[in-house]
Structure 1
C-alpha cells in the first residue's frame, strides 16, 4: 500500500511538473571560446516589457549562470547580454472520443459507449529571449529562447526564473 501511494505521488509530481521548452540559434562560424566577459546591453534590458522585480530576477539568474560558466562581468566586455520577454496563452485540447466496443458472455453480451467531448486547458506562458551580442561588432551571435508556464507567488517566480534561465543557458556555447 505504501509503495502504491509513493508511486502515485511520484507520478503526480512528474505530471504536474511543467517543463521549460528551449531552443537556440547562433551565427555559424563564430569562435565562442574567444568570449570571457560580459555586460548587459542597457537599451535591450530597459525595453524589456516586465516589472522591475521580474527584470532583476532574470538578471540575477543570468549572472549566476554566466558566472558558473566562467564568465565575468566587465566594463569592457566581449559580450553584451540583452533580454526580451513576451507572454502567450497556451491552449491544449484533449479529445475524448473514446469508442468502446465489447462482447462478453452473459445477459446482454454486446455493448458500446464512452465519454465524448473535449477537455480544454488554458495556461499563460512566459517567453524569455536571451541575446548574446559581440561587443566589438555589435552583431547578434547567439540567441536562446525559453517558454514555460508563469507563476504568481514571488518565491515560485524566483524558482521558475532560475529554471528558465538555466535551461536556456545550458545550450550556450552551442555544441557544433
Structure 2
C-alpha cells in the first residue's frame, strides 16, 4: 500500500527532472549586493541579441517579474543594468540498439548481430545568460547562466522561458561563504 502512495511522487520527480534547466552563476566576491534596489534594462546590449522580438519581450517580462518578487523596482536612475544574451546549439544523439543473445541487455556486444538499428534524435539546447552590471561603475558584478532544451511549441515557450529565468535568478543575490 505504501508503494502505491510513493509511486506518484517518484513519477513526478522523474518527469520534473527531464525538463530541468541547469543553472550556474558567478559574481564579484568584492561586491556588496545589499545596496542594489533598482534596475533598468541595458537597451544597447539587448538590441544586439539575435532572437525574435517576441522572445526578447518574453525574457524581459520574466526578468521583470522575478526581480519584482525580490523587492527590486525599475528606475530611470538604476543601481543595476540588466543585460542578457543567448546561445543555442543543435544536439544530435545516436544510439545503437541490439537484440538477441549476448553480453548485456540492449547495449554492448552481440555475437549474433541481430538488430543493431541506429536511432538518431536531434534537439535544440539553449543557453540564457543574464548579466547584472553596476550602473555607476559600469562593471559586471553577477552573471547567471541557464542551460536546457528549447521548445518551438508556442503554447509552451513562455512557460519554458519563465522557468529558465526563475531558476537563474534564484541564485541572485549570491550567498557568500
Change (3 A) 1:151 1:115: same
Give the drift of 1:18: 2.2
Give the drift of 1:86: 1.5
* RMSD between aligned residues: 2.9
- Superposition map of 1:68-147 within 5 A: 68-94=69-95, 96=97, 100=102, 116=116, 119-147=119-147
Deviation digits for residues 49-72 of structure 1, max 9, x if unmatched?
A: 110000000000000000011111
Give the drift of 1:10: 3.0
Instruction: Quote the residue 1:46 is aligned against.
Output: 47
Corresponding residue SS for 2:67: helix
- Report which stretch shifted further, 64-73 or 11-20: 11-20
Change (3 A) 1:100 1:54: same
**Higher Rg of the two aligned structures:** 1
- Unmatched 5+ stretches in structure 1: 103-111
Change (3 A) 1:28 1:118: farther
Change (3 A) 1:137 1:101: closer
Deviation digits for residues 109-148 of structure 1, max 9, x if unmatched?
A: xxx7686465443211221110000000000001111112
Normalising by structure 1, we get a TM-score of 0.80
Deviation digits for residues 2-38 of structure 1, max 9, x if unmatched?
A: x6xx76x937961783211111111111111110110
Corresponding residue SS for 1:43: helix
- Unmatched 5+ stretches in structure 2: 105-110
Q: Number of paired residues?
A: 163
